[in-house]
Amino acid sequence: MKKTQIAAAVMTVAASFATQAVARDYITIVGSSTVFPFATTVAENFGRTTKFKTPKIESTGSGGGLKLFCASVGVDHPDITNSSRRIKGSEFDTCRENGVKDIVEVKIGYDGIAIANAKEAVKFDLKPKDIFLALAKDVPDPKGGDKLVANPYKTWKEVNPKLPDAKIEVLGPPPTSGTRDAFVELAMETGCKKFDFIKAMKKKDKKKFKAICHGVREDGRYVEAGENDNLIVQKLKANPMALGIFGFSFLDQNTDKIKGSRIKGVTPTFESIASGDYPISRSLYFYVKKAHTGKIPGIEEYVKEFTSEKAWGDEGYLADKGLIPLSKEKRDKVAKSARGMEPMSRPEEK
């Protein structure tokens, strides 16, 4: 295609966007169910205290949100997506291929992943190795040797004699969830590495290593409960010996109904996550489509509200919702970059 044709095509897209923009005068946000309550709180405050309309937010899961976000630019596509994990290099590439070229990354704080059960049930004290053996699709043969077999464990006591003699039943997020991604990486992979012959695979065959360590059993012991954390709580109340997986902020808001298991002897609390003592913790983000700023009203102002000390600071209103804040130095750095709408570089793959 000639340069003049390319220029004409770009101008056509820009003109189309400008025409469509009249059809939407509010921000649309998709993504993580974990970030959802924080974003909702900011959006409500934003709509109440500014001249802009309250943003429309949909909980689609981190992966689902990034897929929608990266599909294209224009009023039919989201302006912002929330994520409970960092965008992957492959997702970044998809964005660029679809014309979403300037992405602003905003790291908002930290969250822990809780493995919880009903408040009246026995409290679990789990190690990453226990989690891997209970939930992996394939595990080392209990009879010994460097061989993998389909997961034979039916009770927690079979996994570890110190654990309750209760049926393994864990309600957790689907593959589209950032919580699921973080859980398999931070909990299951850590436990998986306790077996030397599997750990050695990482250097020889990274794809095989990941398939083993991140593969979740599909025989009914792990139950995908969708993106609705409230539904998991209801099921835990109905079955006190079942466990559920979700972000700490949700546990913090439901301490009258559920309690978090200890991981390596550490209970998930605001303090243990902030200090780094709790083993299963991760960073939270949202991503902004820079091409939409100046066209969809309020995007820059929403970012400013979210990155204000009154929102995400140590004593901010998001801390009351369970967000673990970044350090003041880190907040200042992220706020400067976010408010300046500085596009991110392609993230490095692990």
Mean pLDDT of 177-184: 89
Q: Is 283 strand, coil or helix?
A: strand
Query: With 50 as the cut, is the pLDDT of residue 1 above it?
Result: no
pLDDT for the residue 17: 52
For the ranges 10-14, 23-27, 151-155, the lowest mean pLDDT is seen at 10-14
Helix (H) or strand (E) segment spanning residue 258? strand 258-260
pLDDT for the residue 348: 84
- Same fold for the pair 3-108+283-339 and 112-281: yes
d(CA 73, CA 289): 8
Calculate what percentage of the chain has a pLDDT beyond 70: 92
- Per residue in 255-276, is it b (16+ CB within 10 Å) or e — as a string? eeebbbbbbeebbbbbebbbee
CATH architecture of 3-108+283-339: 3-Layer(aba) Sandwich (3.40)
pLDDT for the residue 10: 41
Query: With 60 as the cut, is the pLDDT of residue 31 above it?
Result: yes
One DSSP character per residue, 288-340 reads EEGGGBTTBTTHHHHHHHHTSHHHHSTTSTTGGGT-BPPPHHHHHHHHHHHHT
Largest CA distance in the chain: 72
153 vs 21, more confident: 153
Q: What is the pLDDT of residues 47-96, one digit of tens each?
A: 999 999 999 999 999 999 999 999 999 999 999 999 999 999 999 999 99
| DSSP one-letter code for 216 | B
**Would you say how long the chain is, in residues?**
350
d(CA 265, CA 244): 18
Query: With 80 as the cut, is the pLDDT of residue 206 above it?
Result: yes
What residue spans define the domains of the chain?
A: 3-108+283-339, 112-281
Mean pLDDT of 165-179: 91
Query: With 60 as the cut, is the pLDDT of residue 21 above it?
Result: no
**The two structure tokens encoding residue 293:** 């700023």
Query: What CATH number belongs to 112-281?
Result: 3.40.190.10
Average model confidence (pLDDT) across the chain: 91
- Report the 3 state secondary structure along 189-203: HHHHCCCHHHHCHHH
Q: Is the pTM of this model over 0.75?
A: yes
d(CA 174, CA 320): 27
pLDDT for the residue 192: 97
**The two structure tokens encoding residue 169:** 């039943």
For the ranges 71-80, 160-169, 239-248, the lowest mean pLDDT is seen at 239-248
Helix (H) or strand (E) segment spanning residue 48? helix 36-49
